[in-house]
Amino acid sequence: MKILLVLLLLISIKGFGQNTPDEWMDAGNNYFANGNPRKAAEYYTQYINTYKDSARGYTARGNAYVLLHDFKSALVDFKMALYLDSTSARAYAGRGTVYFFIGNTAEAISDMNKSIELDPASVISYQTLASIYTAEQKFDMALNTIDKALLVNANDGESYRIKGTVYFYMNDTINAITYLDKAVEVAPQNPKMYTSRGAIYKDINKPDMAMADYNKALEINPNDAEALARKGIVYLLQKKYKEAVEFMEKGLSIDPNMESGIKQYLDQARANLKK
C-alpha cells in the first residue's frame, strides 16, 4: 500500500514577464501551480543560473522534479538547498517526500519531523508525514499527526481527506465516508476530494455513487486524469468495455505515471472489448 503524494509548496502567483531572475521564479511558480512542472523546472533553472546560492531556487526546482517523478534530480536539488540553508523547512519536507517515494522510510520520517520542528505551522508537512505513516500501516500515528494539522487549520480539506483515507485503510468505512464528506464540504471546488470519496464508494460496491463523485470531479476539471481513469474502472465493473477503455486511455494520456496503477484494469477492458 503506497499512497502517492506530492508536496505542493505553492505561493501566490502574480502577473509575470520572463526577463529578470525574479520574473523567472514567478513564471516557474505559475507553471507549477497550473500543472506544468516540466516548464516550471525550466524557469527555475534559469533562476538558479543567476542565483546559484539560492536555496529557494533549488527547493522550487526539486518540487517540480518530484511531480515529474525524477526523484534522482529532486534529491540532488534538495540536498543542495539544505547545504545552502540548513534551516529550510521546505527543503527538509521536499527531501523527505523524495525519500518516501524511493523507499527510504526512516529518512523520510526523520526529514518530515525536522521540517515540522523548523515550521510547526506547516500543515502540508503534517499531511505528508501522516500519509507516510498510513503507507507504513502505522494508523494511530497517522491519525495523531493529521489531527495536529487540523489544529493548525481546521478548514483544510486535504487534512480531512487524508483522515478519511486512514480510516478506510483501517476498514472503518463509516468514519472514512464521514471525513471525506467533511473534505467535500470544506473544499467543494477541489476535484481530489470527490475522486477520493468515489474510490471508497467503488470499493464498498456503490458504483452509482462513485460515478456521481467522478462526474463532479470532472465537472470541476474535465482533464482530471485520476477521475477519468477511475470512471473507466467503474465502467469496467459495469461491463461497459468501450467506455472503460476510452476513459482509462484518456486519463493515461494526461498522466502516464498512472500506468502501473490501472494497467490490469485497462488490459481487462481491452480484452473484453475484443470478444
Domains of the chain (ranges, CATH numbers) = 190-275 (1.25.40.10)
- Per-residue pLDDT, 33: 83
* Residue 28 Cα distances to 65, 95, 200, angstroms: 12, 20, 35
Contact by Cβ (8 Å): 1, 142: no
- Per-residue pLDDT, 15: 26
- Per-residue pLDDT, 23: 86
What whole-number distance in Å separates Cα of residue 265 and Cα of residue 118?
A: 43
- Per-residue pLDDT, 22: 82
Q: Which candidate, 150, 211, 219, places its Cα nearest to that of 186?
A: 150
Q: Which positions of the chain have pLDDT values less than 50?
A: 1-19
Q: Which candidate, 69, 119, 49, 68, places its Cα nearest to that of 91?
A: 119
Q: pTM of the prediction?
A: 0.85
At residue 21, the 3 state secondary structure works out as: helix
